[in-house]
Every structure is written in C-alpha cells, then in structure tokens.
Structure 1
Amino acid sequence: MRTFMSLIQGWQIAVCTPNAEAAVPPQPENWKEIVIPHVANFENPTEEKPWLYRCRVTLDNPEGPMFLEFGAVGGLCRVWMNGNYLGEHLGGYSRFRLSVGDAARCGENEILVLADNTRTGDWIPIGGDFNNYSGIYRPVFLITTQETHFDLLYYGTTGLTVGTRPDGTVELDARIVGPQEGVQIEYTLYDGE
C-alpha cells in the first residue's frame, strides 16, 4: 500500500546565493510565501539564477520507505531534508523521485529545494522557441510505501512497464524492490468495454 501526501501548500521561496563549500545552501532572510506549482522567474522569463524553496512538513510516525516526488523542477534541482542531501535531477520536464532514506523524523521536517535555471550548455538546450523557466512548476508529493514495492526510483515511473505485441500478447515487467519471498503479483486485463 502507498500513501501520498500532497505538498503544494506551505512553501516559501527566496533568491539563493549558493556556497560551493557548504553542505546545505545558506538560507536567506527574505522568504516569500508561495503555493506549488510555482514558476520562479514568471515575471521575467529570461532571468537565470538559483532559487531556494523551503517547506516544513509535520510527520506523526514516519515508517517504511519514503520518497519525494516532483512532477517537474526547472533546471538543475538539488534536494535536502533536515540537512541531509537526498540527490539531484537535471532537466525541467520530467517527473522524478528521490529516496528520503533516514532523513525523515517524527515532528517537523524541513525540505529545501534548489532550482537553478542557469544555462550551462550541457543540459539545458541553448536554442529553441521556449522559455527557460525555473521553479517547482508541477505538484510535489511525499510517498510512503511498504518494504516490498514497485521501484519508485525507476525513471520516475510506477515501476511497471506494460507492452503489447501485434498478436495481442501483453508483456508486464514489474521492477520489485525489497524482500520478494512469498510475494505474488495479481493483475487483471480488461477488454475496454
């Protein structure tokens, strides 16, 4: 069983001045309240710089594997929870998840997200007819699951890949993480009616 906690409320944003030597970005003083989805450079789409997002979430009993799911974050994205670095994602157009690991705790938890749309030439297209938006511009969820689960870190998918052949054969590839002894997968095919 999975639970999804929506994290669209309670966010703040500020312009960030990264310090390459710091394990966690220094926190600015002038935070602005926002709601996700949010485009950091909406008023000036050509603006390129790092932005720091902050959200505080209270957890009663964080048990089982937990993941932060981002629908999309513009540019380079780095994520911390309670000062623990969870990982990064490059690009701004796809869903991705990061394992929370042991970073979650009972009570208040702080999530920091660095979104940087500065063009580097190696991962944001230089040309094209689109704006280089920055920010967390699709929904965010905190997902909790059981020890044995479909792989939520498999390219932002559900951990299931379904394919069909011209003869009507259906193939299901289930990527399972965790103890698998005694695990059974049941599925049902419907004819569209």
Structure 2
Amino acid sequence: MRSIAKLMQDWQFTGPDGKTTLVELPHTWNAKDGQDGGNDYWRGTCTYSTTFAAPAFDAASQEVWLQFEGVNSSAKVLLNGRNICTHDGGYSTFRVHVSDLLAKDNQLTVEVDNSINDRIYPQKADFTFYGGIYRDISLMV
C-alpha cells in the first residue's frame, strides 16, 4: 500500500541576506522584488532545510522516495549531509530514492539556485524566474 506524507511545513529558509527564517512551502524569495515590473529581482542560491522522521516501511518489499514537484531553477538535495541528487529544470517533477539513506531522524536540505545559466530553458522570457520551492515535496512509500 502506498503512503504519501507532504513535507510542507517547518522549513528553515536562509536567504540572500544570510538570515534564516521559518517558512512554509510553497515559497519564493522573489515575492516582492519580482513584482515591481523591472528585471532587477535577486537571482542566486538560497537554502531550505527541514527535519522529518523516517516513515515505517518494509525494506524487503517497499521503497521510499522523495518527490519534488517544482524547484526553480536548479536544485541540490542533501539528506543527512550527503548530496543525494541534483536537478536542473524548474518546471519538472523529480524523484530520488532514499530507502537506504534514511536514519530514524533526518535532515533534508535543498539548495535552490535561480541564477542565469545555460543549462535550463527557457533562457529568456517576459516573466520573473522566481527562485524557491514552489510546489509540493512528498515522502512516498
């Protein structure tokens, strides 16, 4: 039987000013500067971090995955300090298998970068390339 737990609350966000605040997802750091009509909004890397308990699962017959439904634009995902995946593309869902990496209590960190780069399309547009985790993150068994 599949179980899905959303990881949407109690995230520590460290922004471009280096200050850490408590946020809930979805979240963007361009909520204000991306709305002024100019192309002068901040683009760079910010960090999100949360903790969660390992779900109950039968390791012989079940797997555990983290699913990210939208992180703009590039993501580096760390679980318990270990880099477990990177993903380029802010408009696509991605998953990472974590069954063998889980501890009783887990620290999940997502480094998000919305800097201009040549790996991600679209390259230019008439809209703001908001940085942040703007869709659900789920822990799936």
The whole-number CA distance in structure 2 between the counterparts of 1:48 and 1:16 is 9
Larger Rg: 1
Unaligned runs of 5+ in 1: 18-27, 145-193
Residue equivalent to 1:190 = none
Q: How does 1:65-76 map to 2 (within 5 A)?
A: 65-76=63-74
Where has structure 1 moved over 3 Å in runs of 4 or more?
A: 60-64
1:118 Cα deviation (Å)?
0.4
Matched, 1:115 2:104: no
- Cα offsets for 1:113-160 (capped at 9, x unmatched): 01000011331433212211111000110011xxxxxxxxxxxxxxxx
Bigger shift: residues 74-83 or 117-126 = 117-126
The whole-number CA distance in structure 2 between the counterparts of 1:104 and 1:13 is 22
Alignment CA distance shift 1:50-1:63 (3 Å):
farther
Q: Is the Cα–Cα contact under 8 Å of residues 75 and 124 in structure 1 kept in the other structure?
A: no
The whole-number CA distance in structure 2 between the counterparts of 1:129 and 1:118 is 16
1:111 Cα deviation (Å)?
0.1
Matched, 1:55 2:50: yes
Q: Is the Cα–Cα contact under 8 Å of residues 70 and 139 in structure 1 kept in the other structure?
A: yes
The whole-number CA distance in structure 1 between the counterparts of 2:44 and 2:97 is 26
Alignment CA distance shift 1:7-1:57 (3 Å):
same
1:62 Cα deviation (Å)?
5.3
- Cα offsets for 1:71-101 (capped at 9, x unmatched): 1000110101111211011111111111114
Q: Is the Cα–Cα contact under 8 Å of residues 88 and 119 in structure 2 kept in the other structure?
A: no
Matched, 1:125 2:122: yes
Residue equivalent to 1:15 = 15
SS of the residue corresponding to residue 133 of structure 1 reads coil
SS of the residue corresponding to residue 49 of structure 2 reads strand
Of Structure 1 and Structure 2, the greater helix share is in: 2
Task: Identify the structure with bigger relative contact order (alpha carbons < 8 Å, sequence gap 6+).
Answer: 2
SS of the residue corresponding to residue 102 of structure 1 reads helix
Q: How many residues align?
A: 132
Unaligned runs of 5+ in 2: 35-40
The whole-number CA distance in structure 2 between the counterparts of 1:59 and 1:68 is 12
Coordinate RMSD, CA, aligned: 1.9
Paired AA for residue 66 in structure 2:
L
**Normalization by structure 1: what TM-score?**
0.63
Matched, 1:35 2:32: no
Corresponding residue to 1:134 among 122, 131, 139: 131
